[in-house]
Amino acid sequence: MKKLAFLLLMSLFLKLNGLAQTQVLLVTSEGNIVVRLYDDTPLHKENFLKLVKNHFYDSTLFHRIVKEFMIQGGDPDSKHPVAGMPLGNGGPGYTIPAEITPEAHFHKKGALAAARQGDDINPKKASSGSQFYIVVGRVWNEQELNTMEQRMQFQQKQELFSKWINKPENSAFQKKFATFQQQRKTDSLQLLQKQITPIIEAEFAKIKPAKMSPEQRQTYSTVGGTPHLDGNYTIFGEVLDGLDIVEKISNTPTIGERPANEVKIIRAMIINP
């Protein structure tokens, strides 16, 4: 209670001195977490504030916890869960257009980001209307970061390949590719790949390759995070206070990825609009 009073007093001080940031307090069953919302992701910021004002998050659970990765909440179905009932599919009935800016925000420890459905059914990477996650992650060494950067660039090439082969003018390649896959003709697939690879490499040369900034490398190698998520999810805030509580929640025993004991967001409130 004393800490909550201090946070509210500090918020008032910042506001009176023109240093205000939009902050939300999550009062959880494990302790308080204060998050700051970014101004350069306005759609996500306004949506999150709207849900907080409407008490949408009150009594919801952190329904998915993966140690050294993240904690996820925001499913309204978790307010009154039935034992054994799957969670993670609920929401307000809408999605939010992606506001992904990897050059500005990345998945450092404490980052607040929007969950979403996978690329196979959500190629535009639209965010869930309510579900979010807070990054925990881990510390990475230089070699791991180099390997991660290579994977990110490989993913870019895969996306270019998908776009190219799905163009109407390339339907012949698409049919061959699908046929060889179904028939498991590995040699034929490799020959086809050799034909297409120079085209994809030429397309790749036209774009900016995924590359970690010095700040990202420094942060991931000291503070930690989850770099493989960069560029794929909208990050719209970060933890200002209570990272120890996030860490504590991330270490909660789970059955699968669901906490064995409920970890609840008792209430969410705006402390500095």
* CATH number of the domain to which 253 belongs: 2.40.100.10
Residues above pLDDT 70, as percent of the chain: 92
Model pTM above 0.95: no
**Count of domains for the chain:** 2
Mean pLDDT of 184-209: 92
Per residue in 86-96, pLDDT (tens digit) is 899 999 999 99
Contact 116, 90 (CB under 8 A): no
CA terminus-to-terminus distance, the chain: 21
14/56 same-domain check: yes
Per residue in 245-272, pLDDT (tens digit) is 999 999 999 999 999 999 999 999 999 7
217 inside domain: no
Query: How many CB atoms sit inside 10 A of residue 218's CB?
Result: 11
For residue 235 the two structure tokens come to 């990050």
Q: What pLDDT, on the 0 to 100 scale, is given for residue 118?
A: 93
Q: What pLDDT, on the 0 to 100 scale, is given for residue 73?
A: 98
188 inside domain: yes
194 pLDDT higher than 60? yes
33 inside domain: yes
Contact 98, 114 (CB under 8 A): no
Mean pLDDT of 223-250: 96
83/55 same-domain check: yes
216 inside domain: no
58/130 same-domain check: yes
Per residue in 7-63, pLDDT (tens digit) is 555 555 555 444 458 999 999 999 999 999 999 999 999 999 999 999 999 999 999
- Which of 119-123, 190-194, 218-222 has the highest average model confidence (pLDDT)? 218-222
Q: What pLDDT, on the 0 to 100 scale, is given for residue 154?
A: 92
96/188 same-domain check: no
Contact 243, 6 (CB under 8 A): no
Q: What pLDDT, on the 0 to 100 scale, is given for residue 5?
A: 59
115 inside domain: yes
Q: What pLDDT, on the 0 to 100 scale, is given for residue 175?
A: 92
Per residue in 133-149, pLDDT (tens digit) is 999 999 999 999 999 99
Q: How far is CA 232 from the centre of its chain?
A: 7
Q: What pLDDT, on the 0 to 100 scale, is given for residue 218?
A: 96
148/244 same-domain check: no
Q: What is the mean pLDDT of the chain?
A: 91
Given 175, 204, 233, the domain boundary residue is 204
114/44 same-domain check: yes
Mean pLDDT of 195-209: 93
111/26 same-domain check: yes
114/15 same-domain check: yes
Query: How many CB atoms sit inside 10 A of residue 29's CB?
Result: 13
26/117 same-domain check: yes
Q: What pLDDT, on the 0 to 100 scale, is given for residue 272?
A: 78
Contact 216, 133 (CB under 8 A): no
Burial class (CB in 10 A: 0-12, 13-18, 19+), 209: exposed
Beta-carbon contacts of residue 4 (< 8 Å; ≥ 6 apart): 25, 27, 32
85 inside domain: yes
109/167 same-domain check: no
Task: Give the integer Cα–Cα distance in Å for 163 and 74.
Answer: 33
SS3 track for the chain: CHHHHHHHHHHHHHHHCCCCCCEEEEEECCEEEEEEECCCCHHHHHHHHHHHHCCCCCCEEEEEEECCCEEEECCHHHCCCCCCCCCCCCCCCCEECCCCCCCCCCCECCEEEECCCCCCCCCCCCEECCCEEEECCECCCHHHHHHHHHHHHHHHHHHHHHHHHCCHHHHHHHHHHHHHHHCCCHHHHHHHHHHHHHHHHHHHCCCCCCCCCHHHHHHHHHCCECHHHCCCCCEEEEEEECHHHHHHHHCCCEECCEECCCCEEEEEEEEEC
Per residue in 153-178, pLDDT (tens digit) is 998 999 899 999 999 999 998 998 89
Contact 160, 203 (CB under 8 A): yes
Range of the domain at 227: 2-139+223-272
135/147 same-domain check: no
Instruction: Give residue 6's pLDDT band: very low, low, confident or very high (50, 70, 90).
Output: low
Mean pLDDT of 111-124: 95
Return the closest-CA partner of residue 234 out of 65, 48, 91, 53: 48
36/132 same-domain check: yes
30 inside domain: yes
